[in-house]
A and B are shown apart, each in its own frame.
Chain A
């Protein structure tokens, strides 16, 4: 008898290969295209030329940041989906990103330093996820009630965001708006999202066996030895932290947390020991590709990357919602 994960573990290599390919593409394409052989050489030997500078000072930090932020969002989505036992959960759809964004905009408005953006986002995300939980947990996590609550919360946050924007001085408005729609052009330091991602992934993996049980329902998980109270709190905090870091750096990018876990589940199944790392890779790949497209589709202009992820995510969301209703009746 073989372990069920044994046959699926190699799929992780496939996700890794896709991630590397997406990163390669992000480094190659742009206003100046750098052909792969040169790219490979310049990656290891900075010859000080213009291509090397573009690569090391612009594309590499941005590509890595996009990848890490996508991975954070994918992971946050996967965690929220277990917490709410619903594959439709996503930090953006359920208003968690909105809460984080509102807090960041408020911080921007009072002129606080950028260092405070991430803590503010964490606070906003946490408030939002707790509100969601408090309002929607009756009725045994009925999917419709949950989504309605999340969507209404998101609408509330966006009203607050509109209010904050209307208070903002005119010269800062375009920047704030672009950030809000999801913008990776200012993120030049991949270390923060990278290190949070690594820490978050390790923490999540430590919970993975318990998450597998939690996905079957709180009572079942408890009767099989999972302390659900503390597990829930850990998932809350971790999902809020991951969302907050992503939002504070890149704005409210939607649907990566929905699309990535869904794709991964279809391929590797629902065991979180494999699902979580694969989702991080898939989320990174997805946002990396979306960002490359956002940079190049209408060059020299840039599209907000959040617009692209939404164009991909909304049809999938509607499909999932429709299929669930079919299965539920």
Chain B
């Protein structure tokens, strides 16, 4: 019997005095790929940060591997759980390679010096995202899409068991969107691992996720398998706008209307 990686028990999310989500209970099992959908300001990023243990929920309990999230030590948790943030500005001049290498921090020993194995893992992550040619560049000089891929490389170098991704396809062109979601699914949606990602594109969510969480932002939510939640009725309920399907979408090619 598989133990769930992540369990939410009657979790309440609030921001600025407003309740975004009430009594949210769900389980993320290993091998699953969850998509979080919802309108702007519905609490999707708040949910991910709460799941990452970066802020406490307004109410309820979150268990990671059957242990309350708050009881995990930061460094211990960082070996288990990784998060992709939305891009931000600032920071100091550095190189892409060194930035990706920061993903190894949770695995470093007392002296905090990366070993040959750490360097290899970071380099492999860079290779997987096709960033080799940019390894010596200052991230500030990269395009938005290149920086997004760099952030994903940091996450791959971190090698967490559960990946939480805030809009991983942001800034990416359609080709890279599909390619990167495939890679993420290959890495995390398998035995022992899982991923939860916030997406804005319903089509990508339906193709790549096996479970969906719909957050309306008014306290109400629905969650379940993609076959049920990715249907016109729940999605119309979610966005307060009629949604319909127009045939099948094979993931091997891009579809547009």
Interface residues of A (CB under 8 A from B): 1-4, 81, 85-87, 141, 208-210, 212-213, 215-217, 219-220, 222-227, 265-266, 269-271, 273, 327-328
Find out whether the CB atom of B74 lies under 8 angstroms from the CB atom of A227: yes
CB A143 to nearest CB in B, in angstroms, measures 8
Within 8 A of A (CB), among B80-112: 81-83, 85, 88-95, 97-99, 101-103, 105-106, 108, 112
How many residues on B have C-beta within 8 angstroms of the other chain's C-beta atoms?
Answer: 39
Closest B residue, CB atoms, query A86:
B90
Find out whether the CB atom of B74 lies under 8 angstroms from the CB atom of A273: no
B257 contacts the other chain (Cβ, under 8 Å)? Answer: no
**Which residues of A sit under 8 angstroms from B98, Cβ to Cβ?**
4, 212, 269-271
Q: Given A3-B119, A4-B101, A327-B140 in contact, is the A223-B83 Cβ separation under 8 Å?
A: yes
**Bound complex: CA of A141 vs CA of B89, how far in Å?**
11
Find out whether the CB atom of B112 lies under 8 angstroms from the CB atom of A273: yes
**Which residues of A sit under 8 angstroms from B119, Cβ to Cβ?**
1-3
B199 contacts the other chain (Cβ, under 8 Å)? Answer: no
Find out whether the CB atom of B105 lies under 8 angstroms from the CB atom of A271: no
Find out whether the CB atom of B54 lies under 8 angstroms from the CB atom of A223: yes
B49 contacts the other chain (Cβ, under 8 Å)? Answer: yes
CB B104 to nearest CB in A, in angstroms, measures 9
Find out whether the CB atom of A226 lies under 8 angstroms from the CB atom of B94: no
The 6 closest A-B pairs by CB, nearest first: A225-B78, A209-B112, A225-B75, A225-B106, A270-B92, A223-B83
**Bound complex: CA of A202 vs CA of B49, how far in Å?**
34
B190 contacts the other chain (Cβ, under 8 Å)? Answer: no
B46 contacts the other chain (Cβ, under 8 Å)? Answer: no
**Bound complex: CA of A220 vs CA of B83, how far in Å?**
8
CB B141 to nearest CB in A, in angstroms, measures 10
**Which residues of A sit under 8 angstroms from B85, Cβ to Cβ?**
217, 219-220, 223
**Which residues of A sit under 8 angstroms from B7, Cβ to Cβ?**
none
Find out whether the CB atom of A217 lies under 8 angstroms from the CB atom of B90: yes
**Which residues of A sit under 8 angstroms from B253, Cβ to Cβ?**
none
Taking a contact as CB atoms closer than 8 A, the residue among A215, A219, A225, A265 that contacts B79 in the complex is A225
Find out whether the CB atom of A212 lies under 8 angstroms from the CB atom of B102: yes
Q: Given A222-B54, A269-B95 in contact, is the A1-B123 Cβ separation under 8 Å?
A: yes
Within 8 A of A (CB), among B164-198: none
Find out whether the CB atom of B92 lies under 8 angstroms from the CB atom of A87: yes
**Which residues of A sit under 8 angstroms from B102, Cβ to Cβ?**
212-213, 216, 224
Q: Given A208-B112, A223-B54 in contact, is the A217-B74 Cβ separation under 8 Å?
A: no
CB B92 to nearest CB in A, in angstroms, measures 4
Of the A-B pairs whose beta carbons lie under 8 Å apart in the complex, a sample of 13, sorted by A's number, is A2-B119, A3-B114, A209-B108, A212-B102, A216-B99, A223-B82, A224-B78, A224-B102, A224-B105, A225-B79, A227-B75, A269-B98, A273-B113
Closest A residue, CB atoms, query B76:
A225
Find out whether the CB atom of B106 lies under 8 angstroms from the CB atom of A224: yes
Interface residues of B (CB under 8 A from A): 49, 52, 54, 74-79, 81-83, 85, 88-95, 97-99, 101-103, 105-106, 108, 112-114, 116, 119-120, 123, 140, 158
Find out whether the CB atom of A209 lies under 8 angstroms from the CB atom of B94: no
**Bound complex: CA of A225 vs CA of B78, how far in Å?**
5
Closest A residue, CB atoms, query B94:
A270
Closest B residue, CB atoms, query A227:
B74
Closest B residue, CB atoms, query A220:
B85
Closest A residue, CB atoms, query B110:
A206
Find out whether the CB atom of B78 lies under 8 angstroms from the CB atom of A223: yes
**Which residues of A sit under 8 angstroms from B93, Cβ to Cβ?**
265-266, 269-270
**Which residues of B sit under 8 angstroms from A328, Cβ to Cβ?**
89
**Which residues of B sit under 8 angstroms from A266, Cβ to Cβ?**
93
CB B148 to nearest CB in A, in angstroms, measures 14
**Which residues of A sit under 8 angstroms from B88, Cβ to Cβ?**
217
Closest A residue, CB atoms, query B124:
A1
Closest A residue, CB atoms, query B123:
A1
Find out whether the CB atom of A215 lies under 8 angstroms from the CB atom of B74: no
**Which residues of B sit under 8 angstroms from A1, Cβ to Cβ?**
116, 119-120, 123
**Bound complex: CA of A125 vs CA of B146, how far in Å?**
41
**Which residues of A sit under 8 angstroms from B140, Cβ to Cβ?**
327
**Bound complex: CA of A210 vs CA of B105, how far in Å?**
8
Closest A residue, CB atoms, query B164:
A223
CB A196 to nearest CB in B, in angstroms, measures 23
Most chain-B CB neighbours within 10 Å: which of A85, A209, A223? Answer: A223
**Which residues of A sit under 8 angstroms from B81, Cβ to Cβ?**
223
Find out whether the CB atom of B74 lies under 8 angstroms from the CB atom of A226: yes
**Bound complex: CA of A41 vs CA of B92, how far in Å?**
45
CB B34 to nearest CB in A, in angstroms, measures 18
